[in-house]
Structure 1
Amino acid sequence: MAGRGTIKPQSGFNANADAESLFKAMKGFGTDEKTILELLTARSNAQRQQIKTAYKTLHGKDLAVELKSELGGHFETVVLALLETPTMYDVKCLKQAIKGAGTCEKTLIHILASRTCREIQAINAAYKQEYGKTLEEDVVGDTSGHFKELLVILLQASRQQGVQEANVQSDAKALFEAGEKKFGTDEEQFVTILGNRSAEHLRRVFAEYMKLSGFQIEESIQRETSGHLKEIMLAVVKCARSVPAYLAECLYYAMKGAGTDDNSLIEIMVSRSEIDMLDIRAEFRRMFATSLYKMIKSDTSGDYEKTLLLLCGGDDA
């Protein structure tokens, strides 16, 4: 997956020079938004961390706090997101999804279903350090039923590695017997298998399941379950098949129809910009009759739009 991002480290990078450019962009009357967005999207996350340090060393001020006081709206949100480390950004998005009245299940689902075990371990450690409570405690306190169980399994970040040849058939059979074959669904089986097996193993299980039942596993989940449990199961299945395809779909539905889900849009564009944005773009183009670039352009505006388009990194006409 290396090198499938749109944002690359800048060569000849100079953190002090960049810190000065940002300082000038905010100094005096009016803010130079163009310099801010172009500079930050042309540096890797690791370089942005160095700019933050240099800014504090040179000016005795916190860059994020300074930018927050100068900017507003979704543009401010996306710029501040770019200044977080990837792990810390996930941590803050998850906290935001849990705190306050009502939980934003969508954020919990698309982060926890798409991250690797190593990424989830890093999220767990940083969350505990930042908030003094484990992410699992907060999730358990805020969700219920089989939905909660699958989230907790994903948070253990202990998926089996590789394909367990001996279990491919028995897992497919267990899913078939828990779903299509019986009246009512045994969700426990689905939760355990989907939460604990590797992506490669699950892809093999899904192929066997298709032979046994005559259905794609997604069709069975659609029919047999509902609500947030259905959403998280489908997310896990889709991520086992292809994380970029799943996130392309999340982006499409974040922008489709009336009103934009800016939280999801910003979260995915920022967090995947150095990982697999090129693959997400390719999947988007394959799945929908338009490009990610065009859809962002028709759905957002101003400096917010410009920043997202730079993260997108080009059009796939």
Structure 2
Amino acid sequence: MALVSEFLSKLTLAYGGEPEPIFPTVVPVSDFDPVKDAARIETAIKTKGVDEQTIIDILTRRSSEQRREIDFHYERLAKKDLVSALKGALSGSMEALMLGLMKSPAQYDASELKASMKGLGTDEEPLIEIICSRTDEEMMEIKKVYRDMFRKDLEKDIAGDTSGNVAKLLLALVETKRDEPSNVIDYEKIDEDARSLYEAGVKRKGTDVVTWISIMSSRSAPHLKRVFERYKSYSPYDMKESIRKEVKGDLEKSFLTLVECFENKQLYFANRLNDAMKSKGAKEKVVTRIMVSRCEVDLMKIRTEFKRQHKRSLYQAIADHTKGDYQKALLSLCGGDD
């Protein structure tokens, strides 16, 4: 019997330590000509009234690296960088979207984090969304780029702009001390963590938030997925219901985001997009941020989850809740109807 339990505790995971697969809607174009693209954009910007369609056709259908090459050749041609030219030619949500596309994924995340902590009061929504949904590798790159762009450490800015347990959780995630996914399933550890989460929350009066933070910020994603499944055998509520009962406000949002991303990251983003487009006028900042940051990562899979969960395509939702050139650019990033 001991041999059986030892064997079971060492079962191999299918995708152990491999990087997450990607499902982009925007991929590098094969017949790429940055000089030609730069010239076409220059003509589009100089056209009376600006030819937005050409700008959309080019920038939403090139990869981040290809856009950087276009920028390099544009500057040689027009004697000014493409970002400055786009700022002068566009406005509003369309401008924000195109300028977002001109940054690398890490630069974009870093600038969104910085913007959320600017001035009086912090906009916790993007802070929580980005920090709780990025992998350790992505977060390490964001921290490096943040320091390069703003000459400040991301950790210091977060510590200065947030407080209490929210600050502790966000800083623990930014530290990037998560275990590497293993090819071995440790059932003993899964059971131990599930029991610890239960005993730190639902089982006692008052929540031991430190234990929750410790487990959720240091274990690998595949391990935590199994922990949340195992948790149901201890608690009368699943992990998300337990969070709603135990904590409130931004801490609740942060823990829920973490759990939702561990369980199904693409469904989390699909739900965020749906919520942002529920009202008559879409919450364009949220829509822009998700579409720009996920189009080269997993937007194709987000589209699938959106259709499955909300019984209409993401393409249709964008068409119904946005308008003008901004709508055209989003639909192009979306990459098609389902």
What range is the shorter-chain TM-score in?
A: over 0.9
Corresponding letter in the other structure for 1:29: K
Of 213, 216, 233 in structure 1, the residue corresponding to residue 235 of structure 2 is 213
Work out the CA distance in 1 between the residues paired with 2:252 and 2:321: 28
1:286 aligns with 2:305: no
Of 194, 209, 214 in structure 1, the residue corresponding to residue 216 of structure 2 is 194
1:40 aligns with 2:59: yes
1:56 aligns with 2:78: no
Equivalent residues, number:
316
Give runs of aligned pairs for residues 209-248 of structure 1, distance below 5 A.
Answer: 209-248=231-270
Corresponding letter in the other structure for 1:113: C
1:161 matched to which residue of 2? 180
How far is the alpha carbon of 1:210 from its aligned partner? 0.3
How far is the alpha carbon of 1:242 from its aligned partner? 1.4
Deviates more, 1:182-191 or 1:228-237: 182-191
Q: Check the 8 A contact 2:280/2:321 in 1, yes or no.
A: no
Which secondary structure does the structure 2 equivalent of 1:160 belong to? coil
Cα displacement string for residues 246-270 of structure 1 (whole angstroms, at most 9, x for unaligned residues): 1111111111135422111101101
Cα displacement string for residues 80-131 of structure 1 (whole angstroms, at most 9, x for unaligned residues): 1111111101110000011112211110111111111111000001111111
Q: Check the 8 A contact 2:281/2:322 in 1, yes or no.
A: no
Gaps of 5+ in 1: none
Of 251, 254, 259 in structure 1, the residue corresponding to residue 273 of structure 2 is 251
Corresponding letter in the other structure for 1:263: K
1:270 matched to which residue of 2? 292
Corresponding letter in the other structure for 2:204: K
Cα displacement string for residues 129-149 of structure 1 (whole angstroms, at most 9, x for unaligned residues): 111110110001010111111
Which secondary structure does the structure 1 equivalent of 2:296 belong to? coil
Corresponding letter in the other structure for 1:23: E
Of 297, 302, 306 in structure 1, the residue corresponding to residue 324 of structure 2 is 302
1:138 matched to which residue of 2? 157
1:23 aligns with 2:45: no
1:127 aligns with 2:149: no
Work out the CA distance in 2 between the residues paired with 1:236 and 1:255: 22
Work out the CA distance in 1 between the residues paired with 2:49 and 2:307: 39
Work out the CA distance in 1 between the residues paired with 2:109 and 2:69: 20
Q: Check the 8 A contact 2:132/2:254 in 1, yes or no.
A: yes
Work out the CA distance in 1 between the residues paired with 2:170 and 2:283: 22
1:261 matched to which residue of 2? 283
Work out the CA distance in 1 between the residues paired with 2:216 and 2:51: 48
Corresponding letter in the other structure for 1:101: L
Cα displacement string for residues 9-56 of structure 1 (whole angstroms, at most 9, x for unaligned residues): 111101111000000001142200010001111111110010001111
How far is the alpha carbon of 1:165 from its aligned partner? 3.9
Which secondary structure does the structure 2 equivalent of 1:19 belong to? helix
Gaps of 5+ in 2: 1-19
Give runs of aligned pairs for residues 162-177 of structure 1, distance below 5 A.
Answer: 162=181, 163-177=185-199
2:13 matched to which residue of 1? none
Work out the CA distance in 2 between the residues paired with 1:250 and 1:190: 24
Work out the CA distance in 2 between the residues paired with 1:124 and 1:93: 13
Query: Percent identity at matched positions?
Result: 41
RMSD: 1.2
Work out the CA distance in 2 between the residues paired with 1:144 and 1:256: 31
Which secondary structure does the structure 2 equivalent of 1:211 belong to? coil
Corresponding letter in the other structure for 1:118: E
> Structure 2 length normalisation: TM-score?
0.91
1:79 matched to which residue of 2? 98
Of 104, 109, 112 in structure 2, the residue corresponding to residue 93 of structure 1 is 112
Work out the CA distance in 2 between the residues paired with 1:145 and 1:167: 29
Of 98, 106, 123 in structure 1, the residue corresponding to residue 125 of structure 2 is 106
Corresponding letter in the other structure for 2:105: P
Work out the CA distance in 1 between the residues paired with 2:63 and 2:134: 20
Which secondary structure does the structure 1 equivalent of 2:121 belong to? coil
